[in-house]
Amino acid sequence: MYLIVGLGNPGEEYAHTRHNAGFDAVDAIAEEVGARYWKTECGALTTKGVYRDHDMVLAKPQSFMNTSGGPVKQLMNAYGVGPEQLIVIHDELDIDPGTVRAKHGGGHAGHNGLRSICDKLGTRDWLRVRVGIGRPPGRMNVADYVLSLPKKEAADDFVQAVGLGSQAALSLVQVGLEKTQQAFN
């Protein structure tokens, strides 16, 4: 069984912002696998699905981004999932908009959601799908940028990256890291 966690912030004011790329990707996966019933457990909205004979739990932590690690750890304990079956989908400033990258392990690069997960799990070794949002223009504050809705061309890039992110996560489940990296990185 895989636990696929999309990072984001709860609430309508954050819906479809760059920082909620993980939530949007998990929603796309749910649609792909026909998972429609969401429930609240362990501090997250969850649903279950099957993709090509692989069971999965999809989750959107309902704590804010900075405390995502608590719900992730609770869900891993509840479902008996180890770090090797955890896939985290998140926004990434250091990747061009409209693109994604899959990887295993690594640091948090200042991403507070990843920092929280690292701290709660005591490891950095899990699968990640990094949804590219690019850097803010000019001197725009990073927090303002990630919490804003992409406009015009940036909105198209965002939708494309979210779609690729959901497909990359499903690819990790189906064919593993190396083949997913060959296809998406």
Q: Which residues are catalytic?
A: 19
Phi/psi of residue 126, nearest 5 degrees:
-150, 170
- The beta-carbon contacts of 53-57 under 8 Å, at least 24 apart in sequence, are 54/1, 54/2, 54/173, 54/174, 55/1, 55/2, 56/1, 56/2, 56/3, 56/4, 56/29, 56/173, 57/1, 57/2, 57/3, 57/4, 57/81
3-state helix, strand, coil in the chain (%, to 5): 45, 25, 30
SS3 82: coil
